[in-house]
Every structure is written in C-alpha cells, then in structure tokens.
Amino acid sequence: MAADPPVEPPVEPVRLVPLLPRRPGPSFVVEVDGTTTADRALVWALREAARREGQVTAVAVVDVPDDPLPGPWSAGEPSVRAAARARAEAAVVQAIAETGVTGRVRTVVADRPLLDALRTSCRGGDLVLVGSTGRTLLRAVAPRFPGRRLAPGA
C-alpha cells in the first residue's frame, strides 16, 4: 500500500505594496495674462505636464493696492478677481482644445506680490515657506559643472 503524499498548506496571495515614485511629478506655474506669449507658454506647459506626468497651475494675477490696511482678505475686489479667473479659465479651455490634454491643469487667482516672490526665488533668491507644520527653504540649485574630460585611453 502506497502512502498518501504529504498535504501542503494552501498558498496565500502575496500583498504587494504599491511603489511610490521617488519624487513627485513636476509642477508648472504659468502666468496667464491674455498675451499670445502666455498662451503659447500654457500650451507648452500642458504638453510637458502630460509627457512628464506633472500638474499645471494657470495663474491669473491681480494687482493689489499699495496700502492694504483693511487686511489681506480684501485685496482686490471680488468682481476683479472673478474677471481674472474667467480670463484664465478661457485661456485654459483654449489650450486644452489645442493640445487635447485634460485633467492636468487648475486655475487660481493670485496677488502680484506672491508671483513676484516666486520669480525672485527662480532667479537665485531664497524663498522660505512658513506654515503651521514648520519652515521650508527653497533655494535655486547651483549649476553643476561637468567634470574634466579625459582623452580616450588616457
């Protein structure tokens, strides 16, 4: 009489942890002011965001008065901000129609000093973001110079 083969325990499925990207996709901030240059920049940013799996933020900028004594919440009348948002959304719709890229863009209205601070940081200035969770220093990366090249066979 032959012995029964040993019974193996049932195989359980292995739960795989989803892989997270090492770093998030790029963010593109485009000032939308109604000029053809800004429209072309928005189209380029949409195509690049689709290629690199990034996000585009179309910014309509509102100039604020020099003396905002009543408080930062009253900078810019609601009608001015609504009109700026409507212009930016129209530019976004036009860029989406041209590129066919959807789901990668959002529209915001920002005050001029905020965009100026971002521009300053892009030109080499430090930008410190301070919030309830702490401080973050954004600094432009120094260009890396290629190392000295050697002749082949050296």
pLDDT tens-digit map of 105-131 = 999 999 888 888 888 887 777 777 787
Q: What is the pLDDT of residue 79?
A: 84
pTM tops 0.85, yes or no? no
Please give the Cα distance from 11 to 98 (Å, whole number). 52
Q: What is the pLDDT of residue 45?
A: 94
- pLDDT higher than threshold 70 for residue 100: yes
pLDDT tens-digit map of 14-73 = 888 877 767 778 889 999 998 999 999 999 999 999 999 899 999 999 887 665 555 555
**Considering the chain, what percentage of its residues have pLDDT values greater than 70?**
80
CB 145 within 8 A of CB 134: no
**What H or E segment, with its residue span, contains residue 130?**
strand 127-131
Q: Does domain 27-64+75-138 have CATH number 3.40.50.620?
A: yes
For residue 134, how many C-alpha atoms fall within 13 Å in the half-sphere facing its CB? 2
Q: What is the pLDDT of residue 72?
A: 54
Q: Taking the domains of the chain in order of start, what are their residue ranges?
A: 27-64+75-138
**CA of residue 142 relative to chain centroid, distance:** 21
Lowest-confidence pick of 87-96, 123-132, 134-143: 134-143
